Copies of this chain bind each other. A is one copy, B any other.
Amino acid sequence: MDEREVFVIGAGMTPFGRHEGRGVEEIGAEAARAALVDAGIDASGVEIAFCGHVLQGITAGQRALSRTGIAGAPVVNVENACASGSTAFHQAVAAVRGGAAQIALALGLEKMERGPIPVDPSDVRMTPRRGAPLMPGMFAEIFRAHSRRYGTTIEQLAMVSVKNRDHAAENPRAQYRERITIEDVLRSRVVADPLTLLMCCPTGSGAAAAVVASADVARGRRRPITVAASVLRSDPPGDASDPLQMIVGINTDAIRRAYAQAGIGPDDLDVIELHDCFAIAEIMHYENLGLCPRGEGGKFVEAGLSRIGGDVAVSTSGGLLSKGHPLGATGVAQVVEIVEQLRGESGARQVTNARTALTHCQGFGGAAAVHVFTA
């Protein structure tokens, strides 16, 4: 165990779903307690906590964490759009790596209403068309551009949704678990032509937490998971007139740095949780990650290579598409899934011999976070 390494020693989350009648504080505290119990750490041992959320108002982290017995230790609320949870985790890793704390907690939480995510149109760089909601409209444009350039089909989008639902069927904490067919996906309601409802992630509520610790603390504990890379990037200069560039530039920048930091490449990955906010995003992230050549993401899913049992298991939790996407919770929930996979505790969706894994989140506006983990 390298003295300078950083570990995840505990992880926990609530189910994702509606959580009707529960406050975000209660949901957040449930996740934090689960992570602390999993780590075998008392709340008083947490030296700093980071809370990722988007829409929960002033000092949401303190409101949740004061219920767990964390008192006195600093709490920092962080926001980076859909990468808010990943940013909280990145900051917790940085706090331990930098020596500011031996034990840090990353919490992600969100309570959302039904309906489209309330995004300020002035915040993003693309104008939606055809009267579609903003984000689905943007991803419909992205799909069209990818299809024109590479021949990606609407059926291939549906295959992403079917695969992730198959994975979610084995995840008791996923928001949607009923298996679906390609026909189900294609025939579901059109949200932003040609994207249908089942090609878009749902809104929902939930929370997730991870306990990050130094080598001194991790030593001798049950299955500490090594954080081999922790990278956060914002948008590098790109050609904003190219809709594909919005999904390529910032992510390839972060992925390249994470591979270098961990000393690995795409062939080393056993499990991946990525930002499949829309099915086309998952296909493009296969390409961004170098799992297949540029433009062949559609064929990659079609060949079944990203299923559990394929070349690399992608979105084993069900992903944003089926596990759900409570904005601030997502990035930390990805860590929870990876920790369980690398410990061999994922039950019916366990990836055989999972040793190296990666999480990826993109927050439009913009932030991309990539983490690499090893067992």
Contacts and interface: CB of A to CB of B under 8 A. Distances in A.
B81 A234 contact: no
Given A58-B54, A58-B119, A98-B100, A365 B63 contact: yes
Contacts of A77: 78-80
A40 interface: no
A94 interface: yes
The complex is assembled from copies of this chain, and their number is 2
B120 A74 contact: no
Interface string A175-202: 0000000000000000000000000000
Interface string A59-90: 10011011000111111111111000001001
Given A71-B235, A74-B367, 20 more contacts: A58-B81, A58-B365, A59-B79, A59-B364, A62-B366, A63-B365, A65-B234, A66-B234, A71-B237, A72-B235, A73-B233, A74-B90, A77-B78, A78-B78, A91-B91, A94-B94, A94-B95, A97-B98, A98-B99, A98-B100
A104 to B, nearest CB: 11
A7 to B, nearest CB: 17
Given A71-B236, A236-B72, A367 B59 contact: yes
A39 B355 CA distance: 45
A59 B232 contact: no
Nearest to A69: B237
A94 B100 contact: yes
A363 B59 contact: yes
Contacts of A98: 94-95, 97-100
A363 to B, nearest CB: 7
A17 to B, nearest CB: 23
A363 B74 CA distance: 12
20 contacts: A58-B365, A59-B79, A59-B80, A59-B366, A62-B234, A66-B234, A66-B235, A71-B236, A72-B233, A72-B235, A72-B236, A74-B90, A74-B232, A75-B80, A75-B234, A76-B78, A76-B80, A77-B78, A78-B78, A98-B98
A365 B62 contact: yes
A87 B76 contact: yes
A253 interface: yes
Contacts of A365: 58-59, 62-63
Given A91-B76, A97-B100, A123 B234 contact: no
A115 interface: no
Nearest to A25: B122
A131 interface: no
Interface in A87-122: 87, 90-91, 94-95, 97-100, 119-120
